[in-house]
């Protein structure tokens, strides 16, 4: 019986070539899109799942309930880790993690690598399998290092690295280290990554900060004993905070702290490491944060596209079922049972779906490389073999075929055989179902159009918003392991005669995100006239304001003519407001304990040194600690930007042959801060186009069916004198009404979704009314263009043939 049903299904597939081809194309495109989007969502949610102890791993953070609001930070003081381990038996393993980089030398080979400074428990907390060596002894010795397979190959080639001694240039001092273990290269879905692991005791200024609770320069991870409740553990940390952070608590209370529900102003808290990838509430988290909105949008878009294609499929099957009414009547007359007819329709539907799914998988494999390149994705089709995804795929397939196959057959079986054979079947109810499905389809398409327009408008707004500094003519160069002041002075000397170079300066922090993938900030807090002052602190060199084109409002810039400028600051407007002095020039700030106060010599215009997700905060520029310069900014003349960049790159390689050039324009750096938003915008645009195309394919097919059903009516109207335009308008207006209803339904949902998304930006657009009008116009024009083709064709048909058709 099944073989017979399959033969009949194949014959019907060939018989209805046009409609089945439309179904297959629509479903294939939807399946290809959904495979890529859903795999991306699965990949994002798979982050860090390979760690065996993941449910018990947490990152420590501090919460301060200040007068101006709640502040949370992940930076920790050095003595916190040993104190927690000594005082709380619930802590099974604990490790600090600090970041750095150094030049590693082996024989004649030199290579720059990033270094993670960790404690011995690090490899016990996290599951990073070792290719060679043992977890128990990997970091036992202070001068042992762990390297990845990639680094081992880069440094040692085919040699066995275990036991080999390398020279590491740490903070301008060469030290010998022994390779104790080689870790397997970590997977792409790992929040934590490293080239080299080294004991934390080698971290910069470790000995000086060993007992300082007010110097916070690293992050801390803990692995609690199995079964430990993190909430109750946090409550037991309250006495710990009061004991070790007395001074900080005293300062917060003095400044008018707002205690939490339990009466605490300063607490030590834990955040699950499993949530790091999506945690937007804390800064300083590894591997993120990725916006959960972004991933949810991918999931929603995939569901929308699949739903639109399924609506097409179901609508066409319902409509086509009524063209096969007599066939069903004849089959019932010849003795076919209900279940036989139901199974026959289901087999035909399943065959079309199976072909569409196959073509969809093939299409997704063809566009996967392009998708991965554009959206920086690491997905692969083998991920579909996961049990959960296989179950979801089979369930979706079965559900689609069940609805699209059984429902039309069930509608036909409800009518009496005599009526079906006479052709007097009433199609009012199926038409209502069809209209509901069409409205749903175009509502989703309109929703995606609105999302696309709002996202595009916000991206344009951010790109064109003045940031307060010159970002089109300034090149940012990470110094890596080079000595900041020395490297800057050498560059100044070598580039002094270059006609294209206007000015050079240095900074401890980059603007935006450079090619080194780093973006950091440094905050300083101190007491001034009885209240707490918090400011971002940036170490810079001479000509910083000049190079970046930042406007000076009061006072002067740093000058080589004033030796005292090494103990001076230039502040921005927000910092001046926070200080509360009418004329801040000449004011002394007690920034550092046991050091002379620092004088304010200038007030500069506010500029966006963070992304546009955040408001401009207080900022202070300082000349002190010039050895901490990490970046060089070079401003070139606008006449030949690309040529100037290439010449600078060539000169860099001549001056520093052993250090990679990672220079980039500041406008590139700032654009990198919005990579997820750009990816989301591109996905919205692509999905909106695909959704509209699939909707139009279905609408075209639906229009074809309607024209066939109304052939006699159109013929009669032409005989009675109706014009072609009148007939086209008559046929099209019903569909246009549905599109308008769909648009109205989509408006409030789209506004709510996009308004919530815009709240992620401190600087954002207002959603304008014209966006909704334009989206409706786009949907109507596309629908009208699709329907009009069939309507005009029907109107031009010979009425004699139309009336003689039956």
pLDDT at 624: 74
Instruction: State the Cα–Cα distance between residues 414 and 8, nearest whole angstrom.
Output: 22
Residues of the chain with pLDDT > 70, as a percent, come to: 86
- The answer to whether 470 and 503 are in contact (CB under 8 A) is no
Q: What is the maximal distance between C-alpha atoms in the chain?
A: 107
Tokens of 716: 């009669």
Nearest CA among 564, 585, 568, 563 for reference residue 576 = 585
- What lies within 8 Å, CB to CB, of 463 at 6+ separation is 671
Helices (H) then strands (E): counts for the chain? 24, 23
pLDDT at 337: 62
Q: Average the pLDDT over each of 267-271, 535-539, 733-737 and give the range with the smallest value.
A: 733-737
Nearest CA among 691, 723, 700 for reference residue 789 = 700
What is the rounded average pLDDT of the residues 13-29? 75
- The answer to whether 74 and 523 are in contact (CB under 8 A) is no
Per-residue three-class SS string for 564-627: HHHHEEEEEHHHHHHHCCCCCCCCEECCCCCCCCEEEEEEECCCCCCCCCCCCCCEEEECCCHH
Across the chain, mean pLDDT equals 82
Instruction: State the Cα–Cα distance between residues 428 and 321, nearest whole angstrom.
Output: 14
Q: Is the pLDDT of residue 416 over 80?
A: no
Tokens of 510: 């980059």
Could you give the angle at the alpha carbon of 580 between the alpha carbons of 578 and 586, nearest 5°?
105
| Residues 487-538: tens digit of each pLDDT | 888 888 888 778 888 889 988 888 888 777 666 667 777 778 877 788 888 8
Distance of CA 450 to the CA centre of its chain: 20
Instruction: State the Cα–Cα distance between residues 304 and 37, nearest whole angstrom.
Output: 11
Tell me the torsion sign for CA atoms 305, 309, 314, 318: positive
Residues of the chain with pLDDT > 90, as a percent, come to: 16
Structure-model confidence comparison of residues 66 and 199, the more confident one = 199
Q: Average the pLDDT over each of 7-21, 458-472, 648-662 and give the range with the smallest value.
A: 7-21
Tokens of 77: 């003081």
State residue 337 phi and psi, 5-degree precision: -85, 170
Residues of 272-298 as b/e, b for ≥16 C-beta within 10 angstroms? ebbbbbbbeebebbbbebbbebbbebb
- The answer to whether 673 and 511 are in contact (CB under 8 A) is no
Tell me the torsion sign for CA atoms 655, 656, 658, 659: negative
Instruction: State the Cα–Cα distance between residues 590 and 603, nearest whole angstrom.
Output: 18
Instruction: State the Cα–Cα distance between residues 371 and 378, nearest whole angstrom.
Output: 10
What is the rounded average pLDDT of the residues 355-367? 89
CB-side neighbour CA atoms (13 Å) of 172: 8
pLDDT at 422: 58
Nearest CA among 305, 400, 307, 430 for reference residue 690 = 305
Element spanning 743, H or E: helix 724-758
pLDDT at 13: 61
Q: How confident is the model at residue 24 (pLDDT cuts 50, 70, 90)?
A: confident
What is the rounded average pLDDT of the residues 568-581? 89
Q: How confident is the model at residue 8 (pLDDT cuts 50, 70, 90)?
A: low
State residue 602 phi and psi, 5-degree precision: -160, 155
- The answer to whether 70 and 259 are in contact (CB under 8 A) is no
Residues of 453-476 as b/e, b for ≥16 C-beta within 10 angstroms? bbbebbbeebeeeebbbbbebbbb
Omega of the bond leading into 480 within 30 degrees of 0 (cis)? no
CB atoms near residue 740 (< 10 Å) = 17
Instruction: State the Cα–Cα distance between residues 571 and 536, nearest whole angstrom.
Output: 10
pLDDT at 748: 92
Q: How confident is the model at residue 411 (pLDDT cuts 50, 70, 90)?
A: low
pLDDT at 428: 46
Instruction: State the Cα–Cα distance between residues 207 and 331, nearest whole angstrom.
Output: 90
What is the rounded average pLDDT of the residues 71-75? 84
Structure-model confidence comparison of residues 680 and 577, the more confident one = 577
What DSSP state is assigned to residue 416?
-
Burial of 158 (0-12, 13-18, 19+ CB in 10 A): exposed
Most confident of 301-310, 325-334, 525-534: 301-310
Burial of 721 (0-12, 13-18, 19+ CB in 10 A): exposed
Instruction: State the Cα–Cα distance between residues 221 and 80, nearest whole angstrom.
Output: 11
pLDDT at 199: 93
CB-side neighbour CA atoms (13 Å) of 337: 3
Instruction: State the Cα–Cα distance between residues 110 and 458, nearest whole angstrom.
Output: 45
Tokens of 783: 């629908």
What is the rounded average pLDDT of the residues 308-331? 70
- The answer to whether 567 and 624 are in contact (CB under 8 A) is yes
pLDDT at 324: 63
| Residues 234-248: tens digit of each pLDDT | 999 999 988 988 888
Tokens of 587: 């004011």
The partner residues of 619 in beta bridges, in order of sequence, read 536
Tokens of 155: 């440094």
Residues of 195-230 as b/e, b for ≥16 C-beta within 10 angstroms? bbbbbbebbeebeebeeebebbbbbbbbbbeeebeb
> Looking at the chain, how many residues does it have?
806
Tokens of 322: 């009524």
- What lies within 8 Å, CB to CB, of 4 at 6+ separation is none
- What lies within 8 Å, CB to CB, of 612 at 6+ separation is 462, 465, 673, 674, 761, 762, 763
Instruction: State the Cα–Cα distance between residues 30 and 32, nearest whole angstrom.
Output: 5
Element spanning 460, H or E: helix 428-464
- Crossing angle, helix 675-709 and helix 17-45, to 10 degrees? 160
Q: Average the pLDDT over each of 171-185, 358-372, 471-485 and give the range with the smallest value.
A: 471-485
pLDDT at 90: 92
What is the rounded average pLDDT of the residues 767-794? 82
Tell me the torsion sign for CA atoms 720, 721, 725, 726: negative
Q: How confident is the model at residue 426 (pLDDT cuts 50, 70, 90)?
A: low
Q: Is the pLDDT of residue 5 over 70?
A: no
What DSSP state is assigned to residue 659?
S
Helices (H), 16-128: 17-45, 80-87, 122-125
Nearest CA among 617, 619, 616, 615 for reference residue 762 = 615
Specify the pTM. 0.76
> Looking up tokens 């999506």, which residue turns up?
278
> Looking up tokens 């001549």, which residue turns up?
654
């Amino acid at each position: 019986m099944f073989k017979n049903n399959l033969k009949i299904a194949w014959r019907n597939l060939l018989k209805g070539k046009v409609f089945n081809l439309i179904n297959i194309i629509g479903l294939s495109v939807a399946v290809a899109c959904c495979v890529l989007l859903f795999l991306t969502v699965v990949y994002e949610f798979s982050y860090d799942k390979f760690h065996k102890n993941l449910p018990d791993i947490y990152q420590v953070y501090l919460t301060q309930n200040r007068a101006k609001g709640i502040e949370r930070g992940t930076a920790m003081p050095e003595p916190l880790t040993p104190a927690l381990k000594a005082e709380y038996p619930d802590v099974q393993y604990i490790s600090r993690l600090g970041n750095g980089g150094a030049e590693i030398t082996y024989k004649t080979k030199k290579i720059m690598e990033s270094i993670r400074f960790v404690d011995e428990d690090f490899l016990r907390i996290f599951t990073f399998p070792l290719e060679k060596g043992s977890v128990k002894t990997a970091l036992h010795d202070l001068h042992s290092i762990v390297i990845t397979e990639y680094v081992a190959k880069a440094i040692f080639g085919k040699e066995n690295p275990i036991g080999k001694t390398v020279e590491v240039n740490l903070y301008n001092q060469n030290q010998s280290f022994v390779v104790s273990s080689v870790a397997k290269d970590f997977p792409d879905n790992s929040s934590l990554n490293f080239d080299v692991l080294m004991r934390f005791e080698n971290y910069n200024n470790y000995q000086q900060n060993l007992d300082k609770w007010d110097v916070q320069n690293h992050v801390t991870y803990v692995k609690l004993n199995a079964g430990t409740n993190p909430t109750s553990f946090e409550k037991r940390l309250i006495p710990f905070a009061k004991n070790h952070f007395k001074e900080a608590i005293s300062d917060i209370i003095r400044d008018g702290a707002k205690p939490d529900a339990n009466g605490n102003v300063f607490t030590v808290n834990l955040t699950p490491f499993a949530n790091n990838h999506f945690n937007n509430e804390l800064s300083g988290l590894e591997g993120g944060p990725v916006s959960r909105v972004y991933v949810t949008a991918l999931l929603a878009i995939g569901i929308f596209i699949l739903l639109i294609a399924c609506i097409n499929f179901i609508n066409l099957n319902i409509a086509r079922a009524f063209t096969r009414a007599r066939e069903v009547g004849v089959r019932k007359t010849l003795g076919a049972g209900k279940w036989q007819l139901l199974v026959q329709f289901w087999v035909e539907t399943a065959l079309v779906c199976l072909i569409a799914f196959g073509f969809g998988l093939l299409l997704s494999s063809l566009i996967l490389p392009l998708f991965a390149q554009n959206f920086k994705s690491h997905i692969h089709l083998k991920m579909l073999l996961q049990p959960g995804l296989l179950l979801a795929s089979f369930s979706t397939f079965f559900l689609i075929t069940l609805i699209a196959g059984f429902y039309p057959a069930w509608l036909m079986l409800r009518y009496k055989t005599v009526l079906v054979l006479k052709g007097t079947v009433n199609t009012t109810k199926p038409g209502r179902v069809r209209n509901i499905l069409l409205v749903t389809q175009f509502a989703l398409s309109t929703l995606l159009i609105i999302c696309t327009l709002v996202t595009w408008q916000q991206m344009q707004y951010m790109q064109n918003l003045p940031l307060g500094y010159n970002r089109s003519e300034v090149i940012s160069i990470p110094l890596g392991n080079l000595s900041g002041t020395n490297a800057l002075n050498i560059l100044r000397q070598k580039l002094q005669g270059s006609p294209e170079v206007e000015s050079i300066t240095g900074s401890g922090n980059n603007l935006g995100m450079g090619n080194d993938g780093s973006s950091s900030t440094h905050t300083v807090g101190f007491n001034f006239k009885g209240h707490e002052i918090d400011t971002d602190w940036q170490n810079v060199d001479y000509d910083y304001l000049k190079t970046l084109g930042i406007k000076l409002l009061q006072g002067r810039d740093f000058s080589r003519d004033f030796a005292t400028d090494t103990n001076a600051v230039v502040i921005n407007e927000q910092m001046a407001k926070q200080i509360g002095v009418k004329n801040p020039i000449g004011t002394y700030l007690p920034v550092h304990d046991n050091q002379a106060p620092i004088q304010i010599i200038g007030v500069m215009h506010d500029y966006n040194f963070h992304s546009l997700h955040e408001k401009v905060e207080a900022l202070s520029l300082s000349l002190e600690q010039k050895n901490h310069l990490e970046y060089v900014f070079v401003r070139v003349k606008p006449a030949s930007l690309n040529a100037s960049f290439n010449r600078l790159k060539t000169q860099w390689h001549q001056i520093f042959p052993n250090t990679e050039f990672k220079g980039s324009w500041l406008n590139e750096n700032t654009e990198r801060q919005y990579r997820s938003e750009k990816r989301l915008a591109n996905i919205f645009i692509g999905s909106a186009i695909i959704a509209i195309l699939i909707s139009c394919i279905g609408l075209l097919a639906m229009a074809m069916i309607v024209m066939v059903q109304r052939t006699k009516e159109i013929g009669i109207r032409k005989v009675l004198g109706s014009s072609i335009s009148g007939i086209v308008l008559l046929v099209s207006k019903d569909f246009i009404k549905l599109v308008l209803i769909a648009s109205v339904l989509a408006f409030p949902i789209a506004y709510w979704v996009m308004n919530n998304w815009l709240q992620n930006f401190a600087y954002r657009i207002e959603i304008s009314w014209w966006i909704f009008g334009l989206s409706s116009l786009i949907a109507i024009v596309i629908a009208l263009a699709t329907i009009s083709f069939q309507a005009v064709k029907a109107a031009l048909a010979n009425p004699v043939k139309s009336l003689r058709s039956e």
